[in-house]
Structure 1
Amino acid sequence: MLRAGFNGLYQLFYWLGGPKQHRVTFATMRSPELTDNLKVLHAKFVQDSDMDLKVFCYHYDRTLKSKIGFLLASVQALRLLARSEMFIIDDYFFPLYAINKHPNNQVVQLWHAIGSLKHFGLSLPTADDSVIKPHTNYDWVFINSEVDKPAYVAAFDIQPDHVLATGEPMMDTLMAQHPEPHAGAKRLLYSPTYRPDANGEAQVLHYIHELITASEQLKQPWEIYVSLHPYLSLPEWQLPKNVHIFQDATRVKQLMPTIDVFVTDYSSLSLNFSYFERPILLFTPDYEQYMAKNGFYVDYYHYLGAPHFDEAGALISFIAHDLDQLDLSYVHELKQKTFPHQDGHNAQRVFQFLMKQL
């Protein structure tokens, strides 16, 4: 029913006008504004082209209010898609998968994360459960490294020659940064991965609470920053003054050069952070469960080479007593694997290719 309705609306919008010449739309349903790849590439189009640029942003956070608004937002998105020569997205985009797309509405996927660590898209064990097959109708996919291509081909059901390893535009911003020394307390950034199952949100919040509680063991002053996935709800907790929980992809990128140690479970932000050659630690209390439910493209612990812990207390104890002696060769190796393009021209390569398609 939903497929028929969405497809009918798309076809109606298409036949009422069709794609407008030189119209390029940047669209996301993961945040209320353009971030990361979309933000950088949009700025490039503004600077170096005279395209008719449109922006569509909707923050779908899975609350009831968001679900109701999602239907209206989807109608708006389908209208923009039908009227655009090129439609550029950065994440799962449900309305797109419910339609029979016309070839002259080109769709570009600029996935919001780099690398190929954990399974995503059609590689997920639950992908076949979807009534409407996700991650379809992509014409072009841009990735960070050639070694990631098999994962993206599998995740997005797309021909290999339409997956282009140009380097991701948002990496240009990262490479313009340098590790920044700072006075005062040391800084820890914790970025837990989103878990989509029914108990996923409670599970993530439990791990955050464990880490915050364990951090009270630290005798030296530390500022603890927790980056919460955009699909989760911010908890209403009474936090210690040195603990900061937020949902802001831009703030994460701004903080990274100042962070002394990065902690995650399965987030690809570990790859981003390797650029600064500072310690990366893994807090993975549900590793076996996550591997069974989600899975990885790589031998996860071996690929990252980072110390890993299944208890928050052990993690914090390591930070307190052993962090200063940690050999960072594993971080240096990870950086070399992750960043084959370090010239700061990723956005330019993507922009030039897309302009040739218009």
Structure 2
Amino acid sequence: MSVAESFNVSDYQRVKHLAELDLDYQELQAEFEDLTRLATSIAGTETSFVNLIGAHYQWTVSGDDKVKSVLREETVCTYAIQESEFLKIPRLDQDPRFSDKDFVKGENGLKFYLGIPLRMNNEAAVGALCVISKNETELSSIQIDQLRIIAGEIVKRLELKLLLKRSEKKVEKAVKIKERLAHDIRGPIGGIVQLLEIAQEVIDSKDEVLEILTMARSSGKDLLILAEDILNETIEDHKQKEKNFTLGSFKEKLLSLYKPQAQSKGVQFSVNFTGEQADMFSKKGLLPISGNLISNAIKFTPPEGSVSVCLKIEKKNDKKELIIIVSDTGLGMSKEQLDQLTIGEFALNEVVSKKGTEGEKGFGLGLRLVMDLVNEMNGTLEASSTLGTGTTITARLPL
């Protein structure tokens, strides 16, 4: 892994916007399939894709048989997201940016491309809707307008997902307030019940007073039980809603998403876990954190090297932590780079570019994004590294 990469603030904000969506790319295939098929029909091209562009990779989430990823510097859509309206390239094979790419060579090489940025809230372009063809193609202004409408529908669906994510956060805040109220109620009521029990023991006068004290004691106990029920119900309901991953399912998700990246570079990739298979936890924020750590490790690991992930849950003082350990046999970091990461000091204007082992372009986004996301989850990030040997980064996230 490497800290030293070029940094573009606007691109970072775009990638962080995508991370906030917290998407499982494999779940988007069916959701956008109707729109990509419609785009293909309107354009009259062989196919169309919905591509989302992260810190290191472009993810094709619809328009193909399965989710695929490719280094973003190898894609056309990475240029399309920089446009305000759309990017049209009549002949990819004659464009100096792409003429040496494998996808334009040979009889089946691509020629025509039109990509429309998926700009959320009229700001961050998280990806592009593109139509491509092996033949020279001419689209009318009406066809392009219709494709822009489809792109707008994709954006609306993504914005709805973001709205739901933000609403969930508000619900979580309301749940915490409710829990706090239940705790606040339980203490005083418990004290009242204890006082009444003491009073009942020392009073031996009028029957009326004893009856009132007995009723008050009974009511106090009922309120205490109610507060306990509210507290337990709130916690259990909240936990049930958030149970999305086990260690086993998290492992399989990481393998399915990132093993193809490693294989395409000739890097061995493995994921293992220790602990109870039945333990369940929220998947919120885990894919952006683990995905960027893994992609960064693959990028800075040479062919025939290895990247491994270890997942485990540790208990400390009745609290649980999910631990994600990503290790590689890559380039490693200098002491200066390691200190920069360990102490969390990441000056936006002081990060310089460093390419991957196969010349992959550095965008300076991956580790910076991970640090911010881990901090937002009140977690910690630890790193150890030796130049020329490899790096191990450990994320500890409270559950």
- Smaller-chain TM-score range? under 0.3
Question: Rg bigger for which structure?
Answer: 2
The structure with the greater share of residues assigned to strand is 2
Alignment TM-score, normalising by the size of structure 2? 0.22
